[in-house]
Amino acid sequence: MTVEVLNSGVLVLNSLWQVVDVCSVKRAVCLLYLSHAQVVLKEGGSLYTFGFEDWKDFSQDYSSDSQIIRTITYKLRIPRIILLFIYDKIPPRKVRFTRRNVYKRDGSRCQYCGKKFKSEDLNLDHVIPVSRGGKDSWYNVVCSCVPCNLRKGDKSLVEVGMSLVRKPTRPNWRSFVKCNFSEINEENWKDFLDLAYWNVELEEDKE
């Protein structure tokens, strides 16, 4: 088991079985341990829920090492979907405007040269510089590598003869959540994503 596994995504459902978030395995286990959530497991077309102790017992016979967290006294199968007891609000319709989410939207690619970089080698850049009235918003902030950032400086795109790989916009919540966990376990999450589709998509489109 690696640190990446602990940081990989777990689908979070509220008590109405609506998709509300994707959290790390670490956080999911924490919520489970504190009895704020149950594990949801889909097997043979049926859905099962487990509290922490039940999940612990269930995990003892599980053999896939890559999907197991080991503690000194027991092992725990990594949950992939959790169901919250306490959160029953309507799912968030907007992706929060945060550094992390801008990086995710842009796929860690510099939006000027189009190359992919490690997070630490990217900056956030205002397409219209703040000094010229550019806003802090999804529509004006993009990922930029250091060389492009320096080249652009405080000028407009036209002035420096640069262009954007893609026009920045607010990500659609559903597609955003989906792309975050497309790399793992798509099958098991699919049912809930489809549910999310029926629950949130129309409201998203109004923006």
Contacting positions for Zn ion (CB under 5 A): 110, 112-113, 145, 148
Give least dist CB 123 to Zn ion, A: 10
Give least dist CB 145 to Zn ion, A: 3
Comparison of 149 and 199: residue with beta carbon closer to Zn ion: 149
Cβ atoms of residues 122 and 110 within 8 Å: yes
Q: Which of 131, 18, 147 is nearest to 83 (CA)?
A: 18
Give least dist CB 112 to Zn ion, A: 5
Comparison of 30 and 150: residue with beta carbon closer to Zn ion: 150
Comparison of 145 and 177: residue with beta carbon closer to Zn ion: 145
> Which amino acid, residue 136?
D
Give least dist CB 175 to Zn ion, A: 25
Structure tokens at 112: 């000027």
Task: Tell me the residue ranges of DSSP E strands in 44-159.
Answer: 46-50, 68-70, 75-77, 81-84, 122-126, 141-145
Helix (H, G, I), strand (E, B) or coil at 44: coil
- Cα dist from 149 to 107, 135, 162, whole Å: 17, 17, 11
Comparison of 92 and 147: residue with beta carbon closer to Zn ion: 147
